[in-house]
Chains A and B, each alone.
Chain A
């Protein structure tokens, strides 16, 4: 039996009395393109934070490729690349410097870092902006940089938290192609997005989180059967109607 790329068992995350994630369980296979959906505040980003170490886990467990994210946190973090929803960078730092630091944190040597920086800059169409400070980038360029940073250490699992928010249509299509290519090369991708057509286009399996619970989980074709769109099913679930 192959090891799951991600396995979440009964994950619970509370902030005081406020329960953000209420005992969800699901797994993602290696090489999958998984869509994690839900309204704002449903618990998607909280779940991602628990996976990546930004958040603590109240109870339950998360494993990455068979490794526990709490006990073996150093190993699991090497395997994950996160493109976050928020721009969590030093806004005064230059584009290439942000990538340089990111590579350094992951233990990459200087030569390896410099080569990798050029590669991810080119892949994310940021080469001409590499000397600009983050604060001087447009919204779209900032999103691209978040993706480039997530790719710096060539992770096995890529977590993209609303990666296309605020970017132009042209780059969105380019990004879709690029993500498909990455997925075909074997990377597991977890995508959260409010653009449901994007999820429908890219993901093979989908989970919907609503009010901290996993309200639906299945293959994409299960969501879009009977000629309905993903959005129709999504609204039924999040409005509390029976799926």
Chain B
């Protein structure tokens, strides 16, 4: 029988932890988002002509939104899992009558919740600058939940793999941030030389950001079907991998 109360407790603990350290979990990323929107969208945007037929402020906003949501989702679960392993309070969960699936769902939903809270905050900031436009609400929700789920699962893998804070930081510094910036967050791939453009289509972030841009503005540069398939495929692949590792107890059980 599914342990609904146990699962709810795990999610509740994660969400309560987010609010307990609110300056770090919500305050810092929202200030960062505000600065990105203000500098790139508002200050520089006024000097830049239309990109893809839309004002620059509107063009960059979906990318800023997506980057903040996926980073929040990743950080939430990677940190909670790593620190829980470090101080061994992961044992509380391991000795409880929770199935592997319930544990994974608990961590993933906790991470998605933080990602969506950040997304909501960034949307409110965007409203102040008149940057918010949602052309396809259902697709908007699909991209928001789909991508935060992928990064929650990646966060679990990072939280299990990392043996120290330095290793935990590698993902953000060397993978997430460069791929986001090079995934067309601030520019149209039309601006890129042919060879770089050809490389960009192998960057998954390009599809995530471009998909969100389409959901917001009805403007896209990627193949949307490839993007949607990539999102669903990655969720299934990473979900299966994480389940296998939990079942095996990799870096979880002694």
Contacts and interface: CB of A to CB of B under 8 A. Distances in A.
Interface of A: 15, 46, 49, 52-56, 73-75, 77-78, 80, 82, 84, 86, 88-92, 101-102, 104-109
B87 interface: yes
A89 B89 contact: yes
Q: Which of B10, B92, B98 is the most central at the interface, judged by chain A CB atoms within 10 Å of its CB?
A: B92
Nearest to B83: A90
Contacts of A90: 13, 17, 87, 89
A80 B253 contact: no
A84 B90 CA distance: 13
B1 to A, nearest CB: 9
Contact of B97 (A75, A82, A101, A109): A75
B3 A107 contact: yes
Interface of B: 3-6, 8-10, 12-13, 17, 20, 87-99, 249, 253-254
B12 A104 contact: yes
B131 to A, nearest CB: 36
Nearest to B80: A90
A54 to B, nearest CB: 5
A105 B91 contact: no
Given A105-B6, A106-B6, 7 more contacts: A74-B99, A82-B95, A89-B92, A105-B96, A107-B4, A108-B5, A109-B5
A77 B92 CA distance: 11
Contacts of A92: 20
A102 B249 contact: no
Contacts of A49: 254
B107 to A, nearest CB: 13
A106 B89 contact: no
Contacts of A91: 87
B128 to A, nearest CB: 33
Contacts of A101: 9, 13, 92
Given A104-B5, A104-B9, A107-B3, A53 B94 contact: yes
B120 to A, nearest CB: 25
Contacts of A75: 97
A80 B91 CA distance: 13
Given A78-B97, A89-B89, A102-B92, A55 B9 contact: no
Nearest to A51: B95
Nearest to B4: A107
26 contacts: A49-B254, A54-B91, A54-B253, A55-B253, A55-B254, A56-B254, A73-B97, A74-B97, A74-B98, A74-B99, A75-B97, A78-B97, A82-B95, A86-B88, A88-B87, A88-B91, A89-B92, A90-B17, A90-B87, A90-B89, A91-B87, A102-B92, A104-B8, A106-B6, A107-B3, A107-B6
A88 B8 CA distance: 21
B254 A54 contact: yes
Contact of A88 (B3, B5, B88, B96): B88
Contact of A106 (B4, B17, B94, B97): B97
